[in-house]
């Protein structure tokens, strides 16, 4: 029997003689897989039931389209594949970089039009100007005078949202 492709699920014969099909439908907060399974008397019947189960609970990656904006794909990837497996502090760091830097800069470019040049230009802008953006929290929490020049850009940024 040929090996099944990633995301198709597993079909195997149990010790009691029944066939079992199993798919991963997502991950819990600890990063462990959540599964659904079906059982049947024959392998063919099990594959049919597994196909119906995949249609009902299958992976959400089927919703991804080549012309979708990169920002939508980045958000989908982060929420479904990365976030469930990482610590809270890492989540905060990733969310800052994704939602404050990556998506505003290159998030509107369709996936099928995103080029290596777009990514290199984005990286060059980050390298030249830095990725630090002032937020309302950092501007108001700063007790020294050197923060005063930073407050007007923050207010402009907040008004545009």
pLDDT tens digits, residue range 68-95?
899 988 888 888 778 888 888 998 989 9
Residues of the chain with CATH 1.10.150.130: 64-131
Position with higher pLDDT, 158 vs 125: 125
Distance between CA 21 and CA 120 in Å, rounded? 44
Nearest residue to 19 via CA among 28, 27, 10, 11: 11
Binned at pLDDT 50, 70 and 90, residue 16 comes out as very high
Rounded Cα distance between 71 and 111, Å, is 9
Q: Give the tokens for residue 135.
A: 């937020």
- Structurally, what CATH architecture does the domain formed by 64-131 represent? Orthogonal Bundle (1.10)
Q: pLDDT above 90 covers what percent of the chain?
A: 22
Segment 114-135 shows an average pLDDT of 79
**How confident is residue 108, by pLDDT bands cut at 50, 70 and 90?**
very high
Sequence-distant (6+) residues with CB within 8 A of 26 are 33, 34, 80, 84
Give residue 139's pLDDT band: very low, low, confident or very high (50, 70, 90): very low
- Supply the mean pLDDT for the chain: 77
**pLDDT tens per residue across span 31-70:** 788 888 999 999 999 999 988 888 777 555 555 677 889 9
pLDDT band with cut points at 50, 70 and 90 for residue 2? low
pLDDT band of residue 132 (cuts 50, 70, 90) is: low
Rounded CA separation 91/96 (Å): 8
Whether the pLDDT of residue 15 is over 70: the answer is yes
CA distance 82 to 103: 16
């Amino acid at each position: 029997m040929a090996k099944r492709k990633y995301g198709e699920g597993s079909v195997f014969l149990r010790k009691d003689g029944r066939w079992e099909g199993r798919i991963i439908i997502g991950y819990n907060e600890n990063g462990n897989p959540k599964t659904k399974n079906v059982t049947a008397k024959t392998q063919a019947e099990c594959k049919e039931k597994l196909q119906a189960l995949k249609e009902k609970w299958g992976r959400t990656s089927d919703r991804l389209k080549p012309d979708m904006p990169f920002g939508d794909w980045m958000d989908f990837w982060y929420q479904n594949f990365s976030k469930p497996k990482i610590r809270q502090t890492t989540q905060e760091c990733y969310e800052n970089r994704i939602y404050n830097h990556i998506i505003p800069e290159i998030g509107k470019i369709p996936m099928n039009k995103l080029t290596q040049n777009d990514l290199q230009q984005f990286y060059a802008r980050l390298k030249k100007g830095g990725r630090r953006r002032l937020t309302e929290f950092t501007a108001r929490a700063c007790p020294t005078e050197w923060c005063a020049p930073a407050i007007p850009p923050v207010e402009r940024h907040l008004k545009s949202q």
